Structure 1
Amino acid sequence: MSKIAASAEMLIRKPPNDVFDAFTDPRTLEKFWLKSASGPLAEDAVVEWEFLVQGARETVKVTKFVAGEAITFVWSDGIAVTIKLHPQDAIGTRVSVTAIGFKGTDASSQALNATEGFTIVLCDLKSLLETGQSGNMVRDKAALITADKADA
């Protein structure tokens, strides 16, 4: 298996449980990352996600679930995504996302795109949790991707 990984990290000024809940609750996910989610992330859950990019869908299978600390899920193409939460002093949560399992001759490019995507997701989540409003960063990136596909 390739050792190529995507990773992103962000400090969110909210407690770990608040950040964890944002990643597991479908209604919150729909405020910053997804168009829809068929259910919550939970131990051994299998859920369907529809992303904000037109036509982008994914089946997510949860393989690790430690409330307030970590979630690992695998996408249908075998890429494993781990979200880890660590208390950061008294000011909030250090959130790290790592994805592994990229395949093919363009694995490096896939990992680079995933790093960009997770960075945008974490920035938008930070905005949502700290201000109460999405910064629409994921939505705007999705609009650019959709426009690029239409032009191709």
Structure 2
Amino acid sequence: MELKESPTAEAAILIRRPVADVFEAIIDPAVTTKFWFTHSSGRLDGGKPVEWEWRMYGVSTRVEVSEIVPNEKIAMQWSEPPTKVVWTFTEMPSDATFLEVRNFGFAGSGDEQVKQAIDSTGGFALVLAGAKAWLEQGLTLGLIGDRHPKGISA
């Protein structure tokens, strides 16, 4: 399948917390582990790669930040082969933040790229829902760990 344009995974949600809190939740693994990965080798920071782990699945990925604009944008690469992820933080009225994430640059055939974009969209939708629950209500929903429970084949 020949693609006319590269597929992009996109997810977004309004989080009723100040933009600085939402931004910090993505760069600080002490917060991010409440709703996404289980372990990290450090905070997201330009020029210093980190390793993220999902121990319930026995997988990890190297994350390299290419750009950080505090409270506005995080651009990074991750996965193997690497894809780009761009987080955009938009300050909204009443101490709320509109958080958008885009993942693109998938490799493989057209069909493979589309499948990766669909899977990534679903994954990031769960990440954003988990972030919203944690940041607004202090709830750890366990969405990522429950996505692929043992005994259920994908």
For normalisation by structure 2, the TM-score amounts to 0.89
- Percent identity, aligned pairs only, is 33
Give 2:76's match in structure 1, choosing from 61, 73, 77.
Answer: 73
1:88 has 2:104 as partner = no
Give 2:143's match in structure 1, choosing from 123, 137, 144.
Answer: 137
Once residues 54 and 123 of structure 1 are traced to their aligned partners in structure 2, the CA distance between those partners, rounded to angstroms, is 20
Q: Deviations over 1:127-149 (max 9, x none)?
A: 000011212212211x43x544x
Once residues 81 and 88 of structure 1 are traced to their aligned partners in structure 2, the CA distance between those partners, rounded to angstroms, is 22
Once residues 143 and 55 of structure 2 are traced to their aligned partners in structure 1, the CA distance between those partners, rounded to angstroms, is 11
Secondary structure of the residue aligned to 1:110 is helix
Measured after TM superposition, the shift of residue 89 of structure 1 is: 2.1
> Is the 8 Å Cα contact of residues 33 and 52 (structure 1) preserved in structure 2?
no
Which protein has the bigger helix share?
1
Where structure 2 has 5 or more consecutive residues not aligned to the other structure, the ranges are none
Q: Report the counterpart of residue 33 of structure 1 in structure 2.
A: 36
> Is the 8 Å Cα contact of residues 16 and 92 (structure 1) preserved in structure 2?
yes
Once residues 70 and 61 of structure 1 are traced to their aligned partners in structure 2, the CA distance between those partners, rounded to angstroms, is 14
Once residues 99 and 29 of structure 2 are traced to their aligned partners in structure 1, the CA distance between those partners, rounded to angstroms, is 19
> Is the 8 Å Cα contact of residues 15 and 132 (structure 2) preserved in structure 1?
yes
CA-based RMSD of the aligned residues comes to: 1.8
> Is the 8 Å Cα contact of residues 26 and 37 (structure 1) preserved in structure 2?
yes
Q: Report the counterpart of residue 114 of structure 1 in structure 2.
A: 120
Q: Deviations over 1:12-45 (max 9, x none)?
A: 0001100000001111111110110000001222
Q: Is the deviation greater in 65-74 or in 51-60?
A: 51-60
Where structure 1 has 5 or more consecutive residues not aligned to the other structure, the ranges are none
4+ long deviations beyond 2 Å: none
Give 2:54's match in structure 1, choosing from 39, 51, 54.
Answer: 51
